[in-house]
Amino acid sequence: MLRAYVVAFLIFLYAPIALLPVFAFNSGTVIAFPLDGFTLDWFAALRTNSELHSALLNSLTVAGTTSVLSVLLGLMAARANIRYTFPGKAAAMGLVMIPLVLPEIIVATSLLVVVVQFFGWSLSLVTVVAAHVLICTPFAIAILNASFQSLDPALEEAAIDLGETRSSTFRLVTLPLIMPGIIAALLICFTISLDEFIIAFFLTGSDTTLPVYIWSLLRFPNQLPVIMALGTILVIVSILILTLAEWNRRRGIARMGGKDSGGFL
Partner 1 sequence: MQQETKRGLGLIAPPFFYAVLLMAGPLLAIVVFSFWTQDYLTVDRTPTIANYVEAFGDPIYRAIMGRTLWISGLVTLITVLLAFPVAYFVSFHVDPSRKSLWLFLITIPFWTSYLLRIFLWKVILGYNGVLNSILSYINVPLEAVGNATGILWMQEGLSAPLYSASAVVLTLSHAFAPFAILPIFVALEKIDRSLLEAARDLGETAVTAFIRVTLPLAAPGIVAALLIVFIPTVGDYVTPAQVGGPGGLMIANMIQTQFLGLNNAPMGATLAVIAMLIVTVIALATVWLARRLSGVR
Site residues for partner 1, window 164-223 (CB under 8 A)?
188, 191-192, 195, 197-198, 201-202, 211, 214-215, 218
- How far is it, in rounded angstroms, from Cα 204 to Cα 219? 19
- Single out the residue of 58, 66, 81, 193 in contact with partner 1 (rule: CB under 8 A): 81
Residue closer to partner 1, measured from CB, 9 or 158: 9
CB of residue 176 to partner 1, shortest distance in Å: 20
Q: Does 160 interact with partner 1 (rule: CB under 8 A)?
A: no
- How far is it, in rounded angstroms, from Cα 129 to Cα 136? 10
Binding mask 220-259 for partner 1 (x = CB under 8 A): -------x---x--xx--xx--xx--x---x---------
Among 38-46, 52-60, 125-133, 167-175, the segment contacting partner 1 (CB under 8 A): 125-133
Q: Does 90 interact with partner 1 (rule: CB under 8 A)?
A: no
First to last CA, the chain: 28
CB of residue 243 to partner 1, shortest distance in Å: 8
Residue closer to partner 1, measured from CB, 2 or 162: 2
Sign of CA dihedral 94, 96, 100, 101: positive
Residue closer to partner 1, measured from CB, 87 or 163: 87
- Single out the residue of 42, 59, 71, 74 in contact with partner 1 (rule: CB under 8 A): 74
Residue 248 sits at the vertex; the CA angle it makes with 246 and 253, to the nearest 5 degrees, is: 95
Number of residues counted as binding partner 1 (CB under 8 A): 88
Q: Does 102 interact with partner 1 (rule: CB under 8 A)?
A: yes
Among 37-45, 107-115, 151-159, 170-178, the segment contacting partner 1 (CB under 8 A): 107-115
- Single out the residue of 66, 137, 147, 193 in contact with partner 1 (rule: CB under 8 A): 137
Q: Contacts with partner 1 in 14-53 (CB under 8 A)? A: 14-17, 19-20, 23, 30-34
Q: Does 95 interact with partner 1 (rule: CB under 8 A)?
A: yes
